[in-house]
Amino acid sequence: MTNIIELKNIHRTYANGEEPVRVLKNINLTIAAGEMVAIMGASGSGKSTLMNIIGCLDIADGGELLINNQNTAQLTPDKLAKIRREHIGFIFQRYHLMPDISALANVEIPAIYASAARSERRQRARDLLAQLGLRGREHHKPSQLSGGQQQRVSIARALINGGEIILADEPTGALDSTSGQEVLQTLLKLNQQGHTVIIVTHDSNVARHAQRVITLCDGEIVDDTRSEPPPTLSSPSRHRATQSLWQSRLDRTQDALQMALKAMNAHRLRTLLTMAGIIFGIAAVVTVAALGEGAKQKTLSEIEGLGANVVSIYPGNSFMDSWSASDRTLVLADAQALATQSYVDSLSPEIANSQQVLFAKKSVNASVTGVGRDYFRINGITILQGAVFHNDSNAYQEAIIDENTRRALFAKHNIDPLGQIIFVGAVPVRVTAIAESYKNAPPNALFVWLPYSTVLYRMSAEPKLTSISIRLRDNTDSVSAVKAINRLLLQRHGVKDFMIFNRDQYRKSLERTSMIFSVLILMVASIALMIGSLGVMNIMLVSVTERTHEIGVRMAVGARRSDIMQQFMIEAVLICLIGGTQGIALSLVAGPLFTLMAGGILTTIFSWQTAAIAFSCSTLIGMVFGYLPARHAARMDPVVSLASE
């Protein structure tokens, strides 16, 4: 007869504090296919550890274990799970049934991991329960069954994938004598059908039913007695998967989804509290995004009617050649002609260059611009001290400096710059005002403004302008004004040697401010989402701890690490998806409420893109924050997990 199990020099040692405890010592054992073997021994003799090693739940420290001539010593956890799934069926003393699912569903679990077709495995589970006298009780939960009935469900579960090897750990230990005898008779019948049955027991009355009794003491085999020769029966057929790989994976995913829903339903309050963090986090993000978009659109619509349009005119045919000397086609007469137009509110000729600026031996390089007195009003630059030029056409030697220039020239002297004489190039000028620094310039840029006539007549080699800035009158259509300016300059120049740029500084500033505030508020709202995400991880870790025993049972009946990981990942993602959907729904209700409470000051504009991003975020949160608990569950020791009940 073929040996189905072979152990060679098996050793197992556990750590007990700092002292190692040798539980199994030099175990050599062969078990033939179709044998019924009892492993006996007192408590602490090592019989349960031996059963765990034979069942590929535990790994020996030394030696070899062969199942059907396959050495298990170097197998990965998933390959060991495959051996348990395809060759071994466990019958435990405490049954180890899932309390929240029916007897039928309990029996089906190993077949799910074996990738059996749904209809096939369900029918086989029904047939097994009927054969074991449980017809009509398929949909009863374990708590609704007696101890003997629960053990028969456990036997059916062990047989669903074929159960070539049946490992029974004290199968009658928790049963009354009548139920115990029924279980023993069932095991005898299974042995007669060709199953290899190994019973671990301390009861000699149970052991006498076996053809062979192996006695352990202090981790060693002290007796091996055979009352009958090995049988010659053929092994029972294994039930293999009959569907494609993709269909198998789809079925496992569907079953994992159903099990996740059942687990969530079993702890409804905890699930709801976990979802609450995601619900409020997603609702906060979506609502803030909608409020930000509403505020932006409202602001843009409001400033459309403001008369703050500014038009800038530059020489040249394009911005690439506008600073070429040959393209300096704007002259002071152009500015004077434009100033008389009805659509012009104010105007400033501009001549820009770079010069060394000197005060008390302190020299800095600054941007020096000749401007009209309305330049500051046009560009929204505030005069902090002093006043703008009294006259910009008489070449007065006056200067307005910005705050950066004041700090660069006067900070060390601790004097008031107003009235001080500074040199711009070789021209002495008196500081008459201090303006705020240019908002759109680099932070360390220095600016000095002189009357345009001063630069034109005292510092420039030719009477040409670098630009003209025009502020249009309120309620003036900027597009029409640009066309009028274009016609006027074409008439004066005869050719198109200038560029007109219609800009709206107020609009750009408000858009930028709106974006910054939206991002800041969105970041604050995201904190709530992050807290909810950490709550998901925390609760999933609690769930893994609470379901340690369930994880052990699933591993014992053949679940791969990936199956366990998928189980908890799906649960985490499901919690976040449901929470995300409810969060989006809550934001759709909260947005109009905010608008109503604010009396129309706030408006919300929702978009499907925002909802899609929020939905994707909730999925990603489930995957990211569910990964750690799922990985922890997948790496649990099945022996330790089973013992945690």
DSSP string, 437-471: PPTTS-TT--EEEEEHHHIIIII-SS--BSEEEEE
Residue 559's CB: how many other CB atoms inside 10 A? Answer: 27
Smallest CA-to-CA distance from 29 within 191, 163, 227, 224 is with 224
Of 476, 503, 530, the domain-final residue: 503
pLDDT of residue 216: 92
Is 608 found in the same domain as 588? yes
Q: Mean pLDDT over residues 613-632, rounded?
A: 82
Give the CATH number of the domain where residue 23 resides.
3.40.50.300
Is 425 found in the same domain as 410? yes
Is 263 found in the same domain as 219? no
Q: Please, which residues bridge with residue 471 across strands?
A: 310, 346
Is 417 found in the same domain as 525? no
Q: Where is average pLDDT lowest: 25-34, 53-62, 90-99, 222-231?
A: 222-231
Q: Which residue has the tokens 């029996």?
A: 107
Q: pLDDT exceeding 70 applies to what percent of the chain?
A: 91
pLDDT at 174 over 80: no
Quick: pLDDT tens for 112-124: 888 888 888 899 9
Class of residue 341 by CB neighbours under 10 A (exposed 0-12, middle 13-18, buried 19+): middle
Total residues belonging to the chain: 645
CA 186/CA 179 separation, integer angstroms: 11
Better-scored residue on pLDDT, 153 or 536: 153
Q: Render 474-487 in DSSP notation, one character per residue.
A: TT--HHHHHHHHHH
Q: Where is average pLDDT lowest: 76-90, 194-208, 320-334, 550-564?
A: 320-334
Evaluate whether 23 touches 45 at the Cβ level (below 8 Å): no
Better-scored residue on pLDDT, 607 or 74: 74
SS3 500: strand
- Amino acid identity for residue 177 in this structure: S
For residue 305, give both structure tokens: 């009617």
The residues, any chain, with a CB within 8 Å of residue 520's CB and separated by 6 or more, are none
What is the domain extent for residue 493? Answer: 310-503
Q: Which residue has the tokens 């969105």?
A: 522
Is 447 found in the same domain as 517? no
pLDDT at 37 over 90: yes
Is 406 found in the same domain as 269? no
pLDDT at 356 over 90: yes
pLDDT at 323 over 70: no
Reported confidence tier of residue 526, pLDDT bands at 50, 70, 90? confident
Is 99 found in the same domain as 73? yes
Is 575 found in the same domain as 470? no
Of 242, 272, 290, the domain-final residue: 242
pLDDT at 468 over 80: yes
Is 539 found in the same domain as 400? no
pLDDT of residue 641: 86
pLDDT at 309 over 80: no
Q: Could you report how far apart the first and last alpha carbons of the chain are, in Å?
A: 39
pLDDT at 595 over 80: no
Reported confidence tier of residue 306, pLDDT bands at 50, 70, 90? very low
In the predicted model, what is the mean pLDDT of the chain?
Answer: 85
Quick: pLDDT tens for 420-440: 999 999 999 999 999 998 766
pLDDT at 546 over 70: yes
Of 503, 525, 555, the domain-final residue: 503
pLDDT of residue 305: 38
Is 270 found in the same domain as 348? no
The 8 Å CB, 24+ separation contacts for 479-484 are 480/343, 481/309, 481/311, 481/343, 482/311, 484/341, 484/343
Is 234 found in the same domain as 140? yes
The DSSP output letter for 330 is: B
Domain count, the chain: 3
pLDDT at 301 over 70: no
Smallest CA-to-CA distance from 613 within 535, 534, 537, 529 is with 529
Distance of CA 296 to the CA centre of its chain: 29
Smallest CA-to-CA distance from 142 within 108, 110, 112, 100 is with 100
pLDDT of residue 281: 81
Quick: pLDDT tens for 480-509: 898 999 999 999 999 988 988 876 655 666
CA 254/CA 259 separation, integer angstroms: 9
The residues, any chain, with a CB within 8 Å of residue 68's CB and separated by 6 or more, are 4, 87
For residue 284, give both structure tokens: 């906060």
Evaluate whether 95 touches 151 at the Cβ level (below 8 Å): yes
Q: Mean pLDDT over residues 371-399, rounded?
A: 91
pLDDT at 545 over 60: yes
Is 318 found in the same domain as 281? no
Q: Mean pLDDT over residues 48-57, rounded?
A: 91
